[in-house]
Structure 1
Amino acid sequence: MLGLVNGIPQKSWSIDHAFHHRNNGNWEIYKGPIDFISLEDYNHLSKREQLFYRLSRNWIMLFPGGFYYLVLKPRLGLLIIILNFSNDLVKEAFIKLKKRKFSELLAIKSRVKPPFSDYGDNFSELFELITNNVIVITGWMFMSKWLGIVFFLLFYSLVSTLSAAILICIFFVQHNYKNAYAKNTKNWDILEGAILGSSNLNIPNLLNWFLADISFHSIHHLSEGIPNYNLIACHNANSHSLKQSKFLKLSDFPNCFKYIIWDNKNERLISIS
């Protein structure tokens, strides 16, 4: 239900979230929230490619990136599936015409085959993607007719962009910061990744309420089954095990966006001068 309200297919999101939890801190497998590259790979890029990499991971990209993630990506995911399926049908029909197998034109062998763009490896995820798009786009049409298309699209775009940018920012700083845990597969440990590879946020109570206590992120990584309303209590009860976990203030956030390269030899996140 919340996936429909937020416009994001929940099943695909939950699979990505589980992958993140299984590999957090292993930068050889999980490349972080905005797909970082290693220092070695960065040095092999051309000057133009390096510039594009830096610009595309600048904090200002939170806003277009947020709009893309929340509004466009689920719609484009379905569009890509439709286009790929149509392309397969045309290719199959062309081959049959070329071989003069006219009687087989209606015997379509092409099927929608997984993986489905960025949204799923099975048909249950595809069904959810289709359902999500139908309901969300129907909601857009209804609200546009009720409030006026210009007002609705402007208001919806603004709210979606800002809310997604804030949430992506929070997710980013909770995993990318100075001295964050950044190991390769050989030296990675899942418990250390949970405690040392995720930061907690020392922010005003009101902001923490809006974030549903996810500010207490290390305990969330230790046990993702803890409901959000119990995160603070569980964090306090296990504070003896979380002494090494990082706490960030709001004033620390800008500094986090400097660390956009993984130094794979020294196993740490570094900034680009």
Structure 2
Amino acid sequence: MKSSIKKSDFTLNSYMKSNDLLATFQILNTLIPYVCLWVLAVKAADISIWLLPPIIILMSLFSVRSFSLMHDCGHYSLFSSKKINRCVGFLLGVVNAIPQYPWSRDHAYHHKTNGDWERYRGVADFLSTTEFAKLSSKERETYQFIRQPVMAIPGGFFYLAIAPRMALILGLYDMVRHVITERQQHPNLSISDAISTHESKHWQSRTEFWDLLFNNICVISSWILLSNWLGAGFFLSVYSLVVTLSAVVFIWVFFVQHIFEGSYAHQTAEWDYLTGAIEGSSYLELPPILKWFTADIGYHNIHHLSERIPNYHLEACHRENLHLLANVKTLRMGDMLDCAKFILWDADSNSLVSIESFLQSESATTELTPVVAMSAK
């Protein structure tokens, strides 16, 4: 159903202006404390290992904030200069061990298709009810298990620490195989020409490849240097915990921003971008301290109305347009686990449903079929 509200009804343009001074302050008040906390962790470990947990939690929260600022750089909204956004975004990508440019391209696709569940299946590649119905009992159990909230813990570590490294290794392996095959078939073909004909499933452009390569060089080099400086056991243990905890937070924040009861989840036909932004994105009401660490990304409906609005203008924009946001879903921290139920897409009703409700519907249909058959006789 198309929204009766038009985008022109919202006051957005005045909030789309970047403030370089404020953006610089945000970078400094994020990265400087993060580095200082690493120093503090080293000093605390010499006194007692039990001093580390609160420091690790704080480090994880600053890592979350740096990821949110990287996200703004990907939308070219944090700074007024596209070049500065790219440079700072790359730096923050190194901090979070993820290539910023490829991530931003994937994220841009999410923005273009939000609410169109035929083209974009959410943060965990959800199945439709029709697809789920075709699975075996074991496949259904596996599908449900790997989408349990607790799986964000190993999933978060894999997403940041392992996946970007695997993407580079597997991508280079495929490229070398392609070059060898092309050279065998065309002996006069140069290596550069053979490389130019290679299409990788791990990157979509040369820019993405170079960003992936340099990110990995910087990240792995930092791992080696810090392991030698701080001790491999200490650094890798603390770093793994920080990466995992921060990934869990932003995975869950992103999850509930689009996966909730009543979320706009339409087929491509008659899908409406504006309705996707307003009704397919939530307003996550967080305590002030968590709003700061997440860089106000909880105002996600405003962010989807215009991704060019930097984080430091989102709250003000939300307040000014509040009278137009009656259909926005408001969620609080206590609602987050309940959102984890809605992991199937029902294309017939254009909605997200729980496995439990689907199984009840499936059972009722199965029981009804023999009755209908007997009536026909």
Instruction: Provide the TM-score with structure 1 as the length reference.
Output: 0.92
RMSD: 1.7
* Distance of 2:199 and 2:327 partners within structure 1: 40
Post-superposition Cα deviations, 1:107-129, rounded to whole Å, max 9, x if no partner, equal: 546316554333x2111110111
2:195 to 111, 115, 120: 111
Tell me how far apart the structure 1 counterparts of residues 171 and 286 of structure 2 sit (CA, whole Å).
42
| Cross-structure match for 2:146 | 56
Equivalence for 1:186: 269
Q: 1:154 — aligned with what?
A: 237
Q: Pick one of 288, 304, 315 that aligns with 1:205.
A: 288
Which one has the largest radius of gyration?
Answer: 2
Deviation at 1:105, TM superposition (A): 8.3
Give 1:79's match in structure 2, choosing from 135, 145, 169.
Answer: 169
Which one is further off, 105-114 or 197-206? 105-114
Match of 2:259 in 1: 176
- How far did residue 136 of structure 1 move? 0.6
CA shift for structure 1 position 86: 2.6
Specify the code of the residue in structure 1 equivalent to 2:108: A
Alignment partners' CA distance in 2, 1:191 and 1:178: 19
Q: Which residue of 2 aligns with 1:32?
A: 122
In structure 1, the gaps of 5 or more residues are: none
Three-state SS of the structure 2 residue aligned to 1:111 is helix
Native 8 Å contact 2:263 2:351 kept in 1: yes
How far apart, in 2, do the equivalents of 1:71 and 1:248 lie?
30
1:139-190 deviation per Cα after TM superposition (whole angstroms, max 9, x unaligned): 0000000111111111111110010011000000110001111110113110
Determine if contact 1:114/1:121 at 8 Å carries over to the other structure: no
Aligned partners of 2:158 and 2:94: how far apart in 1? 17
Question: 1:77 touches 1:117 (CA, 8 Å); kept in 2?
Answer: no
1:266 deviates by 0.9
Q: Is the 8 A contact 1:219 1:235 kept in 2?
A: yes
Instruction: Provide the identity percentage.
Output: 45
Distance in 2 separating the partners of 1:92 and 1:112: 11
Aligned position for 1:246: 329
The whole-number CA distance in structure 2 between the counterparts of 1:107 and 1:167 is 45
Using the TM superposition, give the Cα deviation of residue 92 of structure 1 relative to its aligned residue in structure 2, in angstroms: 4.7
Cα separation, partners in 2 of 1:188 and 1:257, compared to 1, 3 Å:
same
Rounded to whole Å, the distance in 1 between the matches of 2:261 and 2:211 is: 38
Deviation at 1:235, TM superposition (A): 0.3
2:133 to 38, 43, 50: 43
* Counterpart-to-counterpart distance in 2, 1:51 and 1:177: 21
Q: TM-score scaled by structure 2?
A: 0.67
Q: 1:115 and 1:89 mapped to 2: Cα distance? A: 11
For residue 269 of structure 1, give the secondary structure of its aligned residue in structure 2.
strand
Deviation at 1:138, TM superposition (A): 0.4
* Superposed CA offset, 1:77-135 (max 9, x none): 10011211232344456x56xxxx9xx489546316554333x2111110111110101
Q: CA deviation at 1:56?
A: 1.2
Which residue is equivalent to 1:11? 101
Describe the shift of the 1:33–1:208 C-alpha distance in structure 2 as closer, same or farther (beyond 3 A).
same
Q: How many residues align?
A: 265
- Please list every run of 5 or more consecutive structure 2 residues that lacks an aligned counterpart in the other structure: 1-90, 357-377
Shifted more, 83-92 versus 132-141: the winner is 83-92
In structure 1, the residue matched to 2:33 is: none
SS in structure 2 of the partner of residue 247 of structure 1: strand
Contact 1:179 1:268 in 2 (8 A): yes
Q: For the residues of structure 2 that align with 1:220 and 1:86, how far apart are their CA atoms?
A: 41
Q: Which position in structure 2 is the counterpart of 1:142? A: 225
